[in-house]
C-alpha cells in the first residue's frame, strides 16, 4: 500500500517526508487556502520535495476549462496528478487528459457506481471518501470493499483505489486488508501509526535497565 500525505503545509511535508514512507501528496483548494500562498507556487515547491504523484485540483466546473487548467498544472512537473471532481464534466475532462498521458485523480467519490465510471474514464486514481460517509451514518469502508472487488474483476480497469478522508489508523488497516492501492493520510493520523503504549513502555524499560549498567555503546 502506498502512503500519500494529505497536506499543503511545506514545513510539515518536508519533515514527514524524512521518514522515507511518503509516496505522494494530495492537496485540495481548502488545504491550499490555509497556506495563504500562491497556488502554483505551493504546488511547484511540493513537487521539489516529494518524487511521487502530487495531486493538484482544478477549480473550473466545465470540462473545457478543466482540461485547460489540467494541461497547465501538468506542465509544472511530470509527477502532477490533475485532481478532478466526480461530475459529468470531470469525467469528460479525465478522458481527454488521460489520453494525453496526464495523471488524473477523480475526487469526491461516494458510490461504487461512480467508481465504475471513473475506471472507464481511464483515471489514474479514484478517491472514495471514507470519513465523510461515516459522518452521515454510512459505512465508508464498505465502499472501499465494493470498489476493490469490482476493479479486481476487470483487467482493463487500471485505476488505483486511493482511500481518502481516512481519519484513523483503523481506516488505514481495514483498507489495507481489502487491498486498496493507496491511502492519503492527514499528518496527525500518520503520526498515530507509530504509536502504541506497549512499544513506549517496553522501550522505557529497556532504557532504564541499560542505564543501570553504567555502560555506553558510543
Q: What is the pLDDT along the chain (218 residues), one digit of tens a residue?
A: 999 999 999 999 999 999 999 999 999 999 999 999 999 999 999 999 999 999 999 999 999 999 999 999 999 999 999 999 999 999 999 999 999 999 999 999 999 999 999 999 999 999 999 999 999 999 999 999 999 999 999 999 999 999 999 999 999 999 999 999 999 999 999 999 999 999 999 999 999 999 999 999 99
For residue 100 the three cell numbers come to 494525453
Predicted TM-score (pTM) of this structure: 0.95
**Residue positions annotated with a catalytic role:** 83
Q: CA 173, CA 147: separation in Å to the nearest integer? A: 16
Amino acid at each position: 500500500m502506498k502512503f500519500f500525505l494529505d497536506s499543503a503545509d511545506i514545513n510539515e511535508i518536508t519533515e514527514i517526508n524524512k521518514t522515507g514512507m511518503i509516496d505522494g501528496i494530495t492537496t485540495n483548494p481548502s488545504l491550499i487556502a490555509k497556506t495563504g500562498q500562491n497556488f502554483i507556487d505551493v504546488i511547484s515547491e511540493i513537487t521539489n520535495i516529494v518524487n511521487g504523484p502530487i495531486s493538484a485540483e482544478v477549480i473550473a466546473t466545465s470540462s473545457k476549462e478543466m482540461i485547460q487548467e489540467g494541461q497547465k498544472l501538468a506542465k509544472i512537473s511530470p509527477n502532477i496528478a490533475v485532481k478532478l471532481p466526480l461530475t459529468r464534466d470531470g469525467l469528460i475532462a479525465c478522458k481527454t487528459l488521460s489520453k494525453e498521458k496526464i495523471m488524473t485523480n477523480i475526487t469526491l467519490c461516494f458510490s461504487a457506481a461512480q467508481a465504475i465510471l471513473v475506471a472507464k474514464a481511464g483515471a489514474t486514481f479514484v478517491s472514495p471518501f471514507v470519513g465523510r460517509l461515516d459522518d452521515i451514518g454510512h459505512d465508508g469502508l464498505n465502499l472501499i470493499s465494493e470498489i476493490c472487488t469490482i476493479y479486481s474483476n476487470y483487467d482493463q480497469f487500471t485505476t488505483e483505489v486511493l482511500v481518502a478522508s481516512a481519519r484513523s489508523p483503523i481506516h488505514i488497516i481495514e483498507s489495507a486488508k481489502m487491498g486498496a492501492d493507496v491511502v492519503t493520510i492527514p499528518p496527525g493520523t500518520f503520526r498515530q501509526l507509530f504509536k502504541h503504549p506497549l512499544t513506549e513502555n517496553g522501550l522505557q524499560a529497556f532504557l532504564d535497565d541499560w542505564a543501570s549498567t553504567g555502560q555506553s555503546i558510543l
